[in-house]
Amino acid sequence: MMKILLLKNVIKSIFLTVVIACLSQTTINAQNLISNGDFELHTPADNTYSEFSAIFNDWDMDITDNNRNNTRDVRYSPDGGISSSKAAIIFSKSGNTKGKLWQVVNGIDSSKTYVYSVYIKAGNAATEGEPFTLLCNALNEGVNNGNKNIVSNGTSEYVRYGFPVIINAKYDAIKAQIQCNPGGDVNTQFYIDNASLVETSEFVNLDFEEGVDYVWRKTLKGTASVTNEGVEVNSGSNAANLAIMADGDSALIHNDIRVPISNGKMYTVSAMAKVLTDNGDLDSINVITKTYTEDHDLANTTRSKYDISALYESYSHTCIPDVNEKYMTIQVLAYSQVGNYIIDDVEVVEEIANSVGDKIETNDLKIYPNPTTNIITVDYTKGNKASIKIYDTTGKVVVSKVNLQPNNQVDLSALSKGVYIVELVTDVQTSISKVIKK
């Protein structure tokens, strides 16, 4: 009786989750490492551009004369920023000159993840739909060594654009840049405000309320695209629309913030998803986790695959890191068949699986496939005389077997869809894990 009560407490603690990133979280509460990112330091005597050298304290810029009324590629706006604050304006002229701002941030810690973001809007109707680039270079003693960037198009309202930045140990600074991409015969102008580079250790923008171009990156195959979609699950107004225009193409969205993880805990990534038109068994998505070592080398990639329907449902994947896996990133992949795959309210949960009695939980218990539809294979390497019990979320035993050998199969076809706790007991240890029946 005591063991049953203890195990019920374990199950309760497993389902009493610590949420790493809640659905409403879209901003990072951290120090901005970019100086004068809101361009408020400039206090000119008048609204002319005669004091150009004092306009962008802490910023460097291109100031090549582009022969357009003797103005410059970068200017200042006293009232064009967010909430009527000050802002910068960058220009391009007919495909041959481009405005660019940049700032070097020193003292970067290579073990951390940083997020670079900027609010941008088109300065006029002709600029809407025209491209610009956000770019980060890793620096070693002032020399560029590789870069990461996002290319997007201007809109009439301010939108936050950005991405995570990870650098390895030989780099000590980040050069953050913003520039126009001149093209064709269009003279473009973009308003720039609230540029920031902040350290983070948690996922952000999991509800897509700041758009798919903030933090999330896109990897597209063939005709696929990713856009904002005004279809929401909860109280928000945005979701991600992963559009597949030809069979066999794919759209991947990945949140590359590397969040610290711990051995002995389980991390469940879930996403609400649906297709606008249910085309049958080929409407497929993957929920994916990638884990990394302490040196940020890729350690493992695992995923769960689902056929999804035209109704919003939650689809999840569980990651159980080993001792060498220190960071995790998350991805959602839509592929296979033409359709619009709507993704919203991604959630990452750290599940606390405590010990049973005085026995320490280990990662020796391996269960696959997981999630499963009917049959699981149960494997272990330590001990003999194994017995297994599977519990539902109330603590009720729903499957029990004794004398289980390594790589034996267990039939779950009689169970309903849901999450179950698996307890494996040998003569030397007790292991606990989770299995999802779909």
Arithmetic mean of pLDDT, 190-212: 92
Beta-carbon neighbour count of residue 156 at 10 Å? 12
Three-state SS at 11? helix
- Structure tokens given for 302: 């695992």
Map residue 52 onto helix, strand or coil: helix
pLDDT tens digits, residue range 371-424? Answer: 888 899 988 887 777 889 888 766 788 999 988 888 889 999 998 887 788 888
Where in the chain are all domains bearing CATH 2.60.120.260? 52-200, 205-351
For residues 345 and 17, which has the higher predicted lDDT (pLDDT)? Answer: 345
- Predicted TM-score (pTM) of this structure: 0.73
Task: Give 109-112 contacts, CB < 8 A, sequence gap 24+.
Answer: 109/199, 110/167, 110/168, 110/169, 110/170, 110/171, 110/172, 110/296, 111/294, 111/296, 112/199, 112/201
Mean pLDDT of 280-295: 85
- CA angle 257-114-134, nearest 5°? 95
pLDDT (tens digit, 9 = 90+) per residue, 45-84?
A: 544 444 444 457 788 876 555 444 445 577 778 778 887 7
pLDDT in tens, 83-120: 778 888 888 776 566 778 899 999 888 888 899 999 99
Q: Give the model confidence (pLDDT) of 175-196 as tens digits.
A: 999 988 766 677 888 999 999 9
Spatial separation of the C-alpha atoms in residues 369 and 22, rounded to whole Å: 28
In the chain, which segments carry CATH 2.60.40.3080? 2-15+356-437
Render 219-287 in DSSP notation, one character per residue: EEETT-EEEEES--SSS-S-EEEEEE-STT-EEEEEEEEEEE--TT-EEEEEEEEEESS--STT-EEEE
pLDDT digits (tens, 9 = 90+) for 349-375: 887 544 333 333 445 678 888 888 889
Give the pLDDT score at 296: 85
Q: 205-351: CATH homologous superfamily?
A: Galactose-binding domain-like (2.60.120.260)
The β-bridge partners of 114 are: 165, 199
Q: Does residue 74 or residue 225 have the better pLDDT?
A: 225
Decide if pLDDT at 155 tops 80: yes
**C-alpha closest to that of 92 among 200, 206, 205, 178:** 178
H or E stretch at 14: helix 2-15
User: Per CATH, the architecture of 52-200 is what?
Assistant: Sandwich (2.60)
Q: What is the β-pairing status of strands 173-180 and 225-229? A: unpaired
Cβ-in-10-Å burial (0-12, 13-18, 19+) of 281 comes to exposed
* pLDDT tens column, 7-43: 444 444 444 444 454 433 445 667 899 998 988 875 5
Give the span between the Cα atoms of 207 and 216, in whole angstroms: 11
Pairing of strands 87-93, 188-200: antiparallel
Say what the pLDDT of residue 188 is.
84
234-238, 257-261, 311-315, range with the lowest pLDDT: 234-238
Domain 2-15+356-437 sits in CATH at 2.60.40.3080
Helix (H) or strand (E) holding 121: strand 113-122
Residue located via tokens 């606008």: 276
Of the pLDDT bands very low, low, confident and very high (cuts 50, 70, 90), residue 1 is: very low
Q: Average per-residue pLDDT in the chain?
A: 79
